[in-house]
Chains A and B, each alone.
Chain A
């Protein structure tokens, strides 16, 4: 880093010129570097829903291994969110939702038809 005061070369991490003492870091906020590190960066992204309750209900009531797929995606949502991978968490959230819905439709529709058939048969 070249000192703007005396023009001599300094180490790139130097806070001030080792020859003339002029501060080398121009701070646009006018605060000390310690406080600068605490300045807020981007606002926190909202946490994507992981649809875990739907996944568990699908696993317990829909009698298909597909609910487990939804649970795995639900775990991925929170794991990716915790590691800061927001886009990945959003994608896993969509997958968890989709697999939960597929599981519920494939599981519950035949069961509902079965229950209706039994009730109708008993009524006749």
Chain B
């Protein structure tokens, strides 16, 4: 499908520019202060935090170098973000060199750990108990 060298460069360029544009918007305006950022539908409807609540605010803080504030807005997003950034860059280089298929392999036990962590994190950040309120974006 992506055999053509020119097509590969165009696709990777579009993805990179889209990512940079999204990150620039998140860096330029703090989602905590501006209303045009999309809000969590799950939180709006249920009043419960989802595992992703606080991600946009956390990315804003990370882009300003404040990883501690980011961690308290969404620890999951803060821990996963560097891994995703690495995956994105490795995949971009991999695709530009004309290789197809998956290029980053994570053993299944780590993905299971991630799945259980996300479920536990989702439940715990909704508990109104002392250590867990820090898992909530406004805790």
Contact = CB atoms under 8 A, between A and B. Distances in A.
Interface residues of B, number: 35
Interface of B: 35-43, 50-53, 55, 74, 76-77, 80, 84, 87-88, 91, 101-102, 105-108, 111-112, 114-115, 118-119, 122
A51 to B, nearest CB: 9
Main secondary structure of the interface of B (DSSP, over half): helix
Chain A interface residue count: which class?
A: 35 or more
5 A-B pairs with the lowest CB-CB distances in the bound complex, closest first: A111-B38, A75-B111, A79-B108, A78-B108, A63-B40
Interface in A46-64: 46-50, 52-53, 56-57, 59-64
Nearest to B80: A56
Contacts of B122: 65, 68
Given A71-B111, A75-B112, A75-B115, A60 B52 contact: yes
Contact of A107 (B41, B76, B77, B84): B41
Contacts of B84: 53, 56-57
Which among A50, A60, A72, A74 has the greatest number of chain B C-beta atoms within 10 A?
A60
